[in-house]
Amino acid sequence: MKIEIQRENLLRPLQAVIGVVERRQTLPVLANVLMVADDDGLSLTTTDLEVELVARTSGGIQEPGQITVPARKLVDIVRNLPEGASVRLTLDQDRAVVSAERSRFTLATLPATEFPTVEDIGDTEPVLLPQGHLRELIEKTHFSMALQDVRYYLNGLLLELEPQRLRAVATDGHRLAMGELLGEVQVQNNQQVIVPRKGIQELLRLLDDTDDQVRLELSGNHIRVTLPELRFTSKLIDGRFPDYQRVIPHVEGNVMLADRETLRQALVRASILSNEKYRGVRFTLEQDGLKIQSNNPEQEQADEELAVDYKGTPLEVGFNASYLLDALAAMDSEQVRMGLVDANSSCLLQDPSNEGYSYVVMPMRL
């Protein structure tokens, strides 16, 4: 195996795949990157047995071959070489030699045959959509995923494919975020999968806010997203996601319209004196007025008042301020619509100009 390639052409794909390499490994080979040089160019593969990333770069192959080398060490070496340097990689028995200009590095290797690769994901119904749209869908919903919940199916993001619709749903049992893309999905069959947290975080890192097409494939055990010169594959969480439609409240009369940024700032200020563990704030809604109140075990108290558009019945209800702030941060609109049923029911937050995204927050007893 012999490669000679420009530093930038090697660094770019290395940085794309390094994210899944854990610092502590159960298997030594998982700390390595699989390098395969063939007639099509150089492919670089990393995995943690749950997520696999494969990046390709063309040219520079003088002798084909394959080997695995320490991923983070190789990235650090290439990153710190001079810009525009020509990088040479050759094999010397069981060592990889990386050289550029007057620098030379000898790295330990492990055989490519030891490297675990994802099995074939089988027949799928591919979906093509703009990168930016998929990124926005994940970005505006993923924050509601649970973190290390014993209900393992909550530690991921639900993706639901239907004819003319792609929906994303995340919940931790206390709040829920749901978004959907309409009219961009050409599929015949309904599919529902749960993508684990790490896979979602990697996708957010890899997807750009562009109109470039991305290929999305769902199978019984895997999700695969193919970008130009990069392929992402993740195992799925095997479990049944809760019936999220039952959680979304059907609001009729008690609807509040408020300036989103004004409400957000008031919540930030009120939460300063809330209980640090529960972050509770009390909402008191009356005709065209909202009072936000918080207190803590030290008997400190914060009071905020703001003008809102509200014509419903007077209501007093408690919420976790952090959950409300997360939902408000996910919106782009000037205004927010907040629908309430009663003091014991969840509230529904939406962007009045874009009902493609909905956020549900359960009430708190204060």
- Decide if pLDDT at 100 tops 80: yes
Determine the pLDDT at residue 96: 97
- Of the candidates 214, 229, 245, which is a domain's last residue? 245
Answer whether 318's CB lies under 8 Å from 347's CB.
no
Among residues 64, 87, 75, the alpha carbon closest in space to that of 20 is found at 75
- Of the candidates 114, 136, 160, which is a domain's last residue? 114
Determine the pLDDT at residue 121: 86
**Order of strands across the sheet with 51-57?**
65-70, 32-38, 41-47, 51-57, 230-235, 222-227, 213-218, 127-130
DSSP string, 205-235: HH--SS--EEEEEE-SSEEEEEETTEEEEEE
Query: What is the number of helices (H) and of strands (E) in the chain?
Result: 6, 26
66-82: pLDDT as tens digits: 999 999 999 999 999 99
Determine the pLDDT at residue 319: 97
- Helices 131-139 and 197-206: crossing angle in degrees, nearest 10, is 140
Give the bridge partners for 171, in sequence order. Answer: 176
* C-beta neighbour count of 6 within 10 angstroms: 16
Domain count, the chain: 3
Answer whether 143's CB lies under 8 Å from 177's CB.
yes
Contacts (Cβ under 8 Å, ≥6 apart) of 26: none
113-135: pLDDT as tens digits: 999 988 788 888 899 999 999 99
Alpha helices in the chain (DSSP H): 7-17, 71-79, 131-139, 197-206, 260-271, 321-329
- Decide if pLDDT at 247 tops 90: yes
* C-beta neighbour count of 32 within 10 angstroms: 28
158-195: pLDDT as tens digits: 999 998 899 999 999 999 999 999 887 888 889 999 99
311-350: pLDDT as tens digits: 999 999 999 999 999 999 999 999 999 999 999 999 999 9
Q: Are residues 226 and 147 in the same domain?
A: yes
Q: Whole domain around residue 185: which residue ranges?
A: 127-245
Helix (H, G, I), strand (E, B) or coil at 366: coil
258-311: pLDDT as tens digits: 999 999 999 999 999 999 989 999 999 999 999 999 999 999 999 999 999 999
Determine the pLDDT at residue 305: 97
Q: Are residues 354 and 260 in the same domain?
A: yes
In CATH, what number is assigned to the domain containing residue 295?
Answer: 3.10.150.10
Answer whether residue 122 is part of any domain: no
Q: Are residues 205 and 217 in the same domain?
A: yes
